[in-house]
Amino acid sequence: MANVDFAAEAPLMREPESPRDSLDHLSNSFVTEELPPTSPSTFIWALSCAAGISGILFGYDTGVISSTLVSIQPTDLAHPLSTLDKSLITSSTSLFALIASPLAGILADRRGRRSVILVADALFIIGALWQAFTGSVTGMILGRSVIGLAVGAASLVVPLYISELSPSEFRGMLVTLSILFVTGGQVIAYVLGYVFAQKVHGWRWMVGLGAMPAVFQFGLLLTLPETPRWLVKAGQEIEARDVLQKVYASEMSMTAERIMKDIKREISEEEATSKLLNSNVPGDGLWPWLTQYQHRVNELFYVGGNRRALTLGCMLQGLQQLCGFVCSPSLPS
């Protein structure tokens, strides 16, 4: 026959593939999926503890005032402290913390989370030294006010900084760790209050020692990165990718790339939502800052996720105030 059917001459059964060939085939057919990390990396632990020092400062400066007020002698601040003096010294911290919190949020969006924490550290140092060397009630109130600015900024930005750098699997644990540091700071304040209570001008040491953790944290933060989310929003994607590689380690490169894409998608969605809300707000006229404020309010109340977070935050803060815990620093005086 002219036409030969070579297929008929082929063997009816192929030779079995070796196990090595089967594994090679599977590896080429499927993409290997990376397993999530089982524990935070050393880098994340170091970063969270460094940022959490702000919690120690928060707890220390709100707790140390109770020992300070009972240790101040009548001649230390020119005259004996009246009830009004004690009230102003104590409440000035909370008042200026309330003022600083929204301003810190705006600065964190514009200048970065790490930059705001560095400014808070500088304020902690200035406020602590101001109190330690003051010779008047007015100076004490001003020093406590500076501390309030630092407390307001740090208490807002530090949890944000940790949450944006932490892997989602450990985010809640690491943010809770920073809150635990607040309680630790209060314990340290009470211990040092006991140690210096009977010493001459011991109260100056109590408030002055609050500068030491701030100096330590300031030095550590100079070696730590900005958050990937803020870097992407600022157009610094190369730097953001480098940070993600450190967070998830080099062997988790695929996870880092996936997180990078998720961040870019979320930022795009937020910008689209913001533009949609802003288009419904009239008035680009003489008050652009007022228009911008209206845009922010719209995002806060009309975006479902923001509204739920606002409700929960207000409920938690309200319960904290109603339980009377915030009155404890001034009770011993």
Q: Is the pLDDT of residue 260 over 70?
A: yes
pLDDT band at 209 (very low <50, low <70, confident <90, very high): very high
- Give 281: exposed, middle or buried? Use CB within 10 Å, 0-12, 13-18, 19+: middle
Which tens digit of pLDDT belongs to each residue from 229-254? 899 888 888 888 888 888 877 555 67
Which tens digit of pLDDT belongs to each residue from 39-87? 777 888 888 889 889 999 999 998 899 889 988 888 888 888 899 999 9
Q: Which two tokens stand for residue 97?
A: 């913390």
The CA distances from residue 28 to 252, 255, 330, in Å, are 20, 20, 69
The CA distances from residue 248 to 50, 72, 94, 225, 307, in Å, are 18, 50, 38, 14, 32
Q: Which two tokens stand for residue 253?
A: 């490169």
Q: Which two tokens stand for residue 91?
A: 């409440």
Specify the range with the lowest mean pLDDT, choosing from 191-195, 201-205, 276-280, 307-311.
Answer: 276-280
Per-residue burial over 202-235, b = 16 or more CB atoms within 10 Å of its CB, e = otherwise: bbbebbbbbbebbeebbebbeebbbbbbbbbbee
Q: Is the pLDDT of residue 277 over 70?
A: no
Q: Which two tokens stand for residue 71?
A: 């240790």
Answer positive or negative: Cα dihedral of 197, 199, 201, 207. negative
Most confident of 51-55, 121-125, 194-198, 305-309: 121-125
**Are 213 and 53 spatial neighbours (Cβ–Cβ below 8 Å)?**
yes
pLDDT value of residue 9: 46
- pLDDT above 70: percentage of residues in the chain: 77
Cα separation, 298 vs 292, in Å, equals 10
Radius of gyration of the chain (CA): 28
Query: What stretch of H or E contains 239?
Result: helix 237-248
